[in-house]
Amino acid sequence: MKQKVLVIGGFGFIGHHVVQELLKNDYDVVTGSRNRDATGDRISTAYIHLHEMSDEELRLVLENVDFIVFAGGVDDRSMPEGDASSFFYNGNVLPCVRLATICAELKTQKIIILGSYFSHFNRVKPEWKMAERHCYVRSRALQQSETVKASQGKTKIITLDLPYIFGASPDKIPLWKPLINYIRWSPIIFYTRGGTNIVSVEEVAKATLGAIKNAEHNENWVVGDRNVPWKEMITLIANALGKKRMVVSIPNFIIRIIALLVWGYFSLRKKEFGLNPFYFVTTQCTETFLDTSSSMEKLTYSHADMQSSINETVKACNF
pLDDT at 184 over 80: yes
Residue 254 lies in a domain: no
**What's the confidence (pLDDT) of residue 109?**
97
Report the sign of the C-alpha dihedral through residues 294, 153, 149, 18, in that order.
Answer: positive
In a domain, 239, yes or no: no
Distance CA 316, CA 108 (A): 36
Q: Which CB contacts under 8 angstroms, 24+ apart, belong to 140-145?
A: 140/92, 140/115, 140/116, 142/89, 142/92, 142/93, 143/73, 143/92, 143/93, 143/96, 143/113, 143/115, 144/113, 144/115, 144/119, 144/220
Q: Look at the chain and count its residues.
A: 319
Per-residue CA distances from 308 to 70, 136, 272, 312, 314 (Å): 27, 30, 35, 6, 10
Is residue 172 domain-resident? Answer: no
Measured CA to CA, the distance from residue 291 to residue 113 in angstroms comes to 20
- Would the pLDDT of 162 be above 90? yes
Contact between residue 194 and residue 288 where contact means Cβ atoms under 8 Å apart: yes
Does 38 score more than 80 pLDDT? Answer: no
pLDDT of 39: 62
- The verdict on residue 47 lying in a domain is yes
CATH code where residue 103 lies = 3.40.50.720
DSSP β-ladder status, 67-70 and 4-8: parallel
> At how many degrees (to 10) do helices 306-316 and 230-241 cross?
60
Calculate mean pLDDT across residues 68-89: 92
- Summarised one tens digit per residue, pLDDT across range 79-122 is 888 899 999 999 999 999 999 999 999 989 999 999 999 999 99
| The model's pTM | 0.95
Return the pLDDT at 82: 82
Domain range for 111:
4-167+198-225
Contact between 10 and 4 (Cβ < 8 Å): no
Count of beta carbons in the 10 Å neighbourhood of residue 185: 9
Inter-residue contact 226 to 198 (CB < 8 Å): yes
Residue 40 has pLDDT above 90, yes or no: no
* pLDDT value for 77: 87
**What is the total count of domains within the chain?**
1
User: Could you tell me if residue 112 is inside a domain?
Assistant: yes
Residue range 221-267, pLDDT digits in tens: 999 999 999 999 999 999 999 999 999 999 999 999 999 999 898 88
Nearest-angstrom CA–CA distance, 109 and 270: 42
In a domain, 235, yes or no: no
Average pLDDT over residues 174-188: 97
* Identity of residue 30: V
Residue 311 lies in a domain: no
Q: How far apart are CA 89 and CA 140, in angstroms?
A: 8
Q: Band of the pLDDT at 49, cuts 50, 70, 90?
A: confident
Residue 211 lies in a domain: yes
What is the pLDDT at residue 90? Answer: 96
Cβ-proximal residues to 241 (8 Å cutoff; 6+ apart), any chain: 180, 183, 184, 314
